[in-house]
Structure 1
Amino acid sequence: MNSIHKEFSIANIRSKQPWFVFCSAGEYSVKVSSVPFISHFYSFEAQASVDVINAIPDGCIDILFDCDSSKPTAIVCGTTLEAQSVDFINQHRYFGVRMSPASIPSFLDISASELVNQRPNFNETTHKISDLFEKIVSETSFTNQVNIFSDFLIKFGIRNHSSLTQQVIAHIFHSKGNVQIQNLESLTGYTSRTIQRQFINDTGITPKAFCRIVRCQFALYNINLNTEIKQSDIAYNLGFNDQSHFSREFKSLLNTTPNSYINHLKNNTYLEKIRFH
Structure 2
Amino acid sequence: MAQQFFNRIGQLGLGVAVLGGVVNSALYNVDGGHRAVIFDRFTGVKQDVVGEGTHFFIPWVQRPIIYDIRSQPRNVPVITGSKDLQNVNITLRILYRPIPDQLPKIYTILGQDYDERVLPSITTEVLKAVVAQFDAGELITQREMVSQKVSEELTERANQFGFILDDISITHLTFGREFTMAVEMKQVAQQEAEKARFVVEKAEQQKKAAIISAEGDAQAAELLAKSFAEAGDGLVELRRIEAAEDIAYQLARSRGVAYLPGGQNLLLNIPTNLQQQ
TM-score by length of 1: 0.19
Larger radius of gyration: 2
Q: TM-score, structure 2 length as denominator? A: 0.19
More strand as a share of residues = 2
Structure with more relative contact order (C-alpha pairs < 8 Å, separation 6 or more): 1
